[in-house]
Chains A and B, each alone.
Chain A
Amino acid sequence: MEGIIQNPHSSVAFANRIRRRVLEMICRAKSSHIGSVFSVVDVLAVLYDQILRVDPVRPDWRDRDRFILSKGHACAGLYAALAERGFFPASWLEEFFADGGRLAGHATHWGVPGVEVSSGSLGHGLSLGCGMAVAGKHDGLGYRVFVLLSDGECDEGSTWEAALFAPHHGLDNLVAIVDYNKIQSFGRVADVLNLDPFAAKWESFGWSVCEIDGHDHAQIANSLRGIPRSSGRPTCIVAHTVKGKGVSFMEDKVLWHYRCPDAEERRLAFAELEGK
C-alpha cells in the first residue's frame, strides 16, 4: 500500500494532461524551459498520481511526503501536477509568469499550496531534503523525502556535499531522482562536464542506485515503490530521459531549453499531444 493512491492506471493520462497544460502555460507566458519540463513530466505524473502521500486538503499535513523540485526551472510541470491533484484551481496556471500572478518562473512556495520549497538556483534541493529527512528520522515520522534533480545541477559541488551526507547519516527515507536527459544549458553533458560513469558515482558514495527509463511509467512506479530499497541507505534513481519528451521536434534538442514555441509549433505540438 503506497498511501493515497488515486488510480494506479491513470498516470499516463495524468502525464499527458500535464504536458498539454505546460505547453499552454509556456506559450501564454512566452517563457522557456519546455524541454526541461517535458523531460520530467512522466516522473512527476507517477509521483503525484501514485506515490506521494500528500493531501491537497491539508498541504501542511505533518506526516506528508516531501517533494522538492530542485531543478526549479521545471516548475511549470510541478504547478500543473499540483493543479491536477487539486492543490489549487487550474485557473491559477494562467498566472504563470504574469505580472502580480501567483506562479513565478522558478518554483516558489509563497502562497502556492503543495510547493514544499522555492528553488531556481541549482544545487540547493538535496541539502534541504537531507535536513527534512534527518528531522523525519529524529521525530519518528514515516514520511519520505523525494528530491528531483537535473543532471546539470550535478556539476554543483553542493550536490555532492549532500550526496556524501545522506548515506553517512543513513537517510533511507530520502530519494534523489536525477533527470538524466544528458543535455544541459550549453550542450551535451558529456561535452560540457562529463558525469559518467554517473550511476557508479552515486553507488560509490553509498547510495542504493537504480537506473530506469524515466518515461516508462511502470519502471518509474516500481523504482519508487518500496522505499527504502536498501535499509540504512538513501536511494538514487537515475532516470534516463529525453529532453522535450512527447513532442517529436523538441526531443533531445538543446534549443528547447530556451525556445518558446511559435503559433505553428504550438499547433503541431498540441496535435501530437492530443493524439496520445
Chain B
Amino acid sequence: MRGAFFRGLMDLAAQDDRVYLLVGDLGFGVVEPFMRKFPERFLNVGVAEQNMTGVAAGLALTGKIVFTYSIANFPILRCLEQIRNDVCYHRANVKIVSIGGGFSYGALGMSHHATEDLAILRALPELTVIAPGDPVEAEAATHAAASHDGPCYLRLGRAGEPMVHESKVEFQIGRAIRVRQGDALTLISTGAMLRTAVDVADRLAEKGTPVRVLSMHTIKPLDTDAVLAAAVETRAIVTIEEHSVAGGLGGAVAECLAESGELRVPFKRLGIPTSFSAPPGTQEYLREQCGLSVKSILGSLEPLLESVHASGFLIRPVVTT
C-alpha cells in the first residue's frame, strides 16, 4: 500500500501545487522521489510529530493540502491533541497518513502496533477515517482524501499487501465496496484484512455457502446503508479488523445495528482482544494469535453458520424508520 500511496501522491503533487508532504523523519527509501521532484513542498520536520501536525495545520490554513506521514502510532497518538484542536477544530485540509496499520510491523513490538487508532480517531469531529483494503483502494483513497475538503486519516498497510481488486475500483469516501456476493452472511472487513475476508468467503462458496464481503474502507462516515442492507438481505454480520474489538469497525457497525429499530441480526466482531500481544512475532503469527487467520475465522463462523442454517428461515424483518 505504501507504493500505491506514493504513486497517488506523486500524481496529485504534479497536478496541484498546493500539495505538501511533511514527514516525521521516516520514509527512508520511499519519500526520495517526492523530495527530489517537489523539494519546495517537502519538509522532513525531524522526530517531532506534534510540531509536524501543527505546522501542517498552519500550512493548510493558508490554503495548502498537506499530507503528514509517519508510521504506526507516531503521526496520530503522540500528536493527538494537535490533530483534535489544530487540524479538526479548524477543519484544516490535512491528510494524516500512517503506514503500518495493525500488526504490519510485527516483531518490532507493541510500540509499532497501531491497534487502537480507528477507535480513537473515529471519535474526533470533522475527521474522515479511511482504511483501504488493498493497494488498488489505497491509491484511490489517496486521491479521494486529497479531493475531500477537510481533515482525513489514511490508515495504510506497509508494503506487499496482496491485491484483491483486479482493476481500478469505484472508490467513494463513505461507500463500502461489495467484493463478494452471497446471502448466508456478510463479512465486513476494513483495512488490509480484506484479502483474508475474501479468502474466507471463497472457501465458504466452494462449500456451497456464498457470503457477502464488504470492503468498509471508510470507518467514518460509516456506510450505514450498506450495513443495514446486509442486515436485511443476509442472515448474519461479522466484522473483521486488524484492530482492537473495542470501538473500531466492529464498534461502529454495532452502534449502527443497535440503533436500527426492530432489525435483529446475529452479529460478531472479530479483531484483536483488548490486551497487548505478549510474545513477538510476524504479522501473520500475531494475526493467527488473535484468531484472524483464514482457518481461525472459518472456525469462528461455524457456530454462526450452523444457527443460521438451523433457523431455516431468512431474517428479513421490516425496517422501521
Contact = CB atoms under 8 A, between A and B. Distances in A.
B50 A157 contact: yes
Contacts, number: 88
Interface string B42-78: 0101101011011111111111101000000000000
Contacts of B86: 117, 124, 127-128
A129 interface: yes
Max chain B CB contacts within 10 Å: which of A119, A126, A133, A162?
A162
A139 interface: yes
A113 to B, nearest CB: 15
Contact of A130 (B40, B58, B82): B58
A144 to B, nearest CB: 13
B46 A165 contact: yes
A128 B50 CA distance: 10
Given A118-B85, A121-B85, A135 B45 contact: no
Contacts of B56: 131
Nearest to A116: B61
Contact of A136 (B51, B62, B90): B62
Chain B, interface SS category: helix
A135 B58 contact: yes
Nearest to B55: A131
Given A130-B55, A134-B43, A121 B81 contact: yes
Interface residues of A, number: 29
Contact of B51 (A117, A120, A133, A158): A158
A90 interface: no
Contacts of B85: 118-121, 124
A138 interface: yes
Nearest to A131: B58
Interface string A161-174: 11011000100000
A102 interface: no
Given A117-B61, A124-B82, A135-B62, A130 B48 contact: no
Nearest to B81: A121
Given A128-B86, A132-B62, A165-B46, A138 B40 contact: yes
A128 B89 contact: no
Given A124-B82, A135-B64, A158-B50, A165 B89 contact: no
Contacts of B43: 134, 169
Contacts of B60: 131
B51 A161 contact: yes
A162 B54 contact: yes
Given A136-B62, A139-B62, A131 B48 contact: no
A109 interface: yes
Max chain B CB contacts within 10 Å: which of A126, A133, A139, A158?
A158
Contact of A127 (B54, B62, B64, B66): B54
Contacts of A121: 81, 85
Contacts of A116: 61
A206 to B, nearest CB: 14
A118 B48 contact: no
A162 B61 contact: no
A119 B51 CA distance: 15
Nearest to A125: B54
Max chain B CB contacts within 10 Å: which of A126, A134, A164?
A134
Contacts of B48: 161, 164-165
B50 to A, nearest CB: 4
A167 to B, nearest CB: 13
A127 B46 contact: no
Contacts of B61: 116-117, 128, 131-132
A51 to B, nearest CB: 20
A262 B271 CA distance: 57
Nearest to A120: B85
A230 B59 CA distance: 24
Nearest to A118: B89
Contact of A132 (B46, B51, B58, B89): B58
B62 A128 contact: no
Contact of B58 (A129, A158, A161, A164): A129
A122 to B, nearest CB: 10
12 contacts: A117-B61, A118-B90, A127-B54, A128-B54, A131-B55, A132-B59, A134-B58, A135-B63, A136-B62, A161-B51, A164-B48, A169-B43
Given A132-B58, A134-B43, 20 more contacts: A109-B90, A118-B90, A121-B85, A124-B82, A126-B54, A127-B53, A127-B54, A128-B55, A128-B86, A130-B51, A130-B54, A130-B55, A131-B66, A133-B58, A134-B58, A139-B62, A158-B51, A161-B50, A165-B45, A165-B46
Interface of B: 40-41, 43, 45-46, 48, 50-51, 53-64, 66, 81-82, 85-86, 89-90
